Structure 1
Amino acid sequence: MTTHPTPFERLGGESAVRELVDRFYDLMDLEPVLAPLRALHPTSLDGSRDKLFWFLCGWLGGPAHFENRFGHPRLRARHLPYAIDSDARDQWLACMHQALEDCQVPQDLAQALWPSIAQLADHMRNTPDQPSSSTITAPAPP
């Protein structure tokens, strides 16, 4: 029986997931167009970085760090206190898309993951869209 490596293994394990998460949050701090998304987060991103790292490790098929600490992710419920509309979703996706590119995630892996990433981000929407001046649209798959 042949086993296929998990996305977690293909990405490079915990160090690669941490690099991806750190780049994601660094971009959020660096790019002015992502300021509305950044404003949804606490002043210090340390806790957010850890939680996304823990979640992605398990989501990608690696260690279940998040579940071991907090139980089932229940992501939508955990995000209900934050107003997430299509603009916030698209900013999050743009940030993740750039992080995947900057971390040189193999294109075939990024393309395979992208539909699930986009579906997950869309599922977090909990606020009706308002007329916006956002200059970000959801990125195309890598």
Structure 2
Amino acid sequence: MNIPEQPTFDTPFAWIGGEDRVKALAERFYDLMDLESGYAELRAAHGPDLGSAREKLFWFLCGWLGGPQHYTDRFGHPRLRMRHMPFKIGETERDQWLACMAQAMAETGVPNELAERLKESFFKTADWMRNTEG
């Protein structure tokens, strides 16, 4: 019987490959949002310039995955729901965010087992962020 090895990483941040890999994931996520018509509503919710959002997602993911606390060092507690209240987030935006992140993880080589675990966590957070029906 072939038993798969358990990851030997202390954190998802280490498992994903560190800061450079998290940066690549955040960059690809926002690139896809600009490129793929299937993410149109999600893209529209972000306004014309994605520069600040790219940076903040990278900083947030680093800390959330167990790496450097770039986001909290700059802004304090993330307060995700509060900070996203000005934006319409319904099921469409949630589902597009999740699909875009899944595509970004696949395209940047996030290990499958880690990607599956992250998808579960992302869904819980994205669903909690909804502030609009539909």
TM-score (norm 2): 0.92
TM superposition shift of 1:4: 4.2
Q: Deviations over 1:121-142 (max 9, x none)?
A: 111100111xxxxxxxxxxxxx
2:92 counterpart residue number: 87
2:48 counterpart residue number: 43
2:4 counterpart residue number: none
- Alignment check: 8 A CA contact 2:9 2:15 kept: no
Q: Deviations over 1:89-126 (max 9, x none)?
A: 00000000000100111101111222111101111100
Counterpart residue identity of residue 36, structure 2? E
1:111 to 108, 116, 121: 116
1:66 counterpart residue number: 71
Q: Deviations over 1:29-72 (max 9, x none)?
A: 00012111100012111100000000000000001111000000
TM-score (norm 1): 0.87
- Alignment check: 8 A CA contact 2:12 2:65 kept: yes
Percent identity of equivalent pairs:
57
Report matched runs for 1:97-136 at 5 Å.
97-129=102-134
2:11 counterpart residue number: 6
Q: CA RMSD in A?
A: 1.0
Question: Which shows bigger deviation, 78-87 or 105-114?
Answer: 105-114
Q: Which runs of 5+ in 1 are unaligned?
A: 130-142
TM superposition shift of 1:5: 2.0
TM superposition shift of 1:13: 0.7
2:101 counterpart residue number: 96
Distance 2:96 2:117 in 1: 20
Aligned length: 127
